[in-house]
Structure 1
Amino acid sequence: MVIDIDELVRRNAEFAASGAFADLPILSSGNLRVIGCVDPRVDPSHVLGLSAGEAVIMRNIGGRVTPPALRSWAMLAKVAEARSNGRPQGDAHMVILHHTDCGIRDLVPFPDLLADYFEIPAAGLDTKAVTNPHVSVRIDVEAMKHTLPAGVQVSGLVYHVETGLIETVVPPTAGTKQAQPTGRYHNRLP
């Protein structure tokens, strides 16, 4: 199916007429933060039944916790800090969502590309388990856990594209990063 600009304008007019966007604040209404894959079959909003404005969702190749993803989350935390005058927004829950039949597996023959993506030497790629979503989500939860302050929960889910169901691979576990000594709102998820 080809979607041209005229079709996008038509669809947008329907969206605008619905008013679904009206009065949505820049900060999400809930505590949920999700990092998921760009695969069109795995839109976290649809898979997890989320409404517009209910969660902060980031998507990248494989839904992976990479250095650029971590930098983006840190920037989003600063946006939240600025919009809330430095007041914490409640305890966040970070969900890392990987899935079966992920296209990142097709990049295994391109180790230099994957190494650049993860910002690691190509020799270290086996530590990223790009062919196994159950292992990779555990790896990414562990990496995220060390960047989150104590009290912020992180979970790991695998979505099965064959059934449409999610599986909890890593139940909610608390972050381990020590709080900043200044008492200001630092490094919390937006």
Structure 2
Amino acid sequence: MNVVEALTERNADFAASSFAPGLRLMPSLKTIVIGCVDPRVDPEAVLGTDLGEVATIRNVGGRVTPGVMGELAMLRKVTQAFGGDIGPGWEFIVLHHTQCGITKLEGAPEALSEYFGVDQTDLAEEYVSDPHAAVTKDVEKLRSNTDLTGVRVSGLVYDVSTGKVETVVAP
């Protein structure tokens, strides 16, 4: 059995036993988690959320990049199209983790500067090798976005060695 066959078989089990019809497009906890694509750090599993509770944006490093800001702007437009808005009552959680693969790119400043949308001379301020400082930086980016007024933003770091999450920046 190949991977696609195995996954579609798992989907059949999901559809039969875990599918929740009637879920709404907007997350019930009014929460968006920004996390890393690392398969060890699935935000829904790490934070114990159920289907439909949170929306998740995942990228390399779980970083708040220009691309993520564009995604958030588009999500806000979708929310507005459904008669709502992302603002007061919403939560954004930035979830970084230890032993992240992005740290292996510290020797590739051209790739990192393009990814973060900054000049290579400003890369040190992105704290690529320090998840605690990086999550603080990314929370600051979100909090300073005037389009997100009223959104509570927090920053967590997940330890891949222990499975525990630490609050680095409280909401």
- With the length of structure 2 as denominator, give the TM-score of the two structures: 0.93
1:53-72 matched pairs, under 5 angstroms:
53-72=52-71
What amino acid is the match of 2:66?
P
5+ residue gaps, structure 2, are none
CA distance in 2, matches of 1:129, 1:87: 32
1:116-131 matched pairs, under 5 angstroms:
116-131=114-129
2:35 aligns to what SS in structure 1? strand
What amino acid is the match of 1:161?
V
Q: Structure 1 88/72 Cα, relative in aligned 2: closer, same or farther at 3 Å?
A: closer
CA distance in 1, matches of 2:86, 2:117: 31
Q: Which range moved further: 22-31 or 58-67?
A: 22-31
Report runs of 4+ in structure 1 exceeding 2 Å deviation: 86-90, 148-151
1:1-190 matched pairs, under 5 angstroms:
4-84=3-83, 86=84, 91-147=89-145, 148-172=147-171
5+ residue gaps, structure 1, are 173-190
1:97 aligns to what SS in structure 2? strand
Deviations, residues 90-128 of structure 1 (Å, cap 9, x unaligned): 510111011110001011111111111111111211010
Aligned residue pairs total 170
Displacement of 1:151 in angstroms is: 2.4
CA distance in 2, matches of 1:19, 1:44: 19
Identity percentage of aligned residues: 45
Displacement of 1:163 in angstroms is: 0.7
RMSD: 1.7
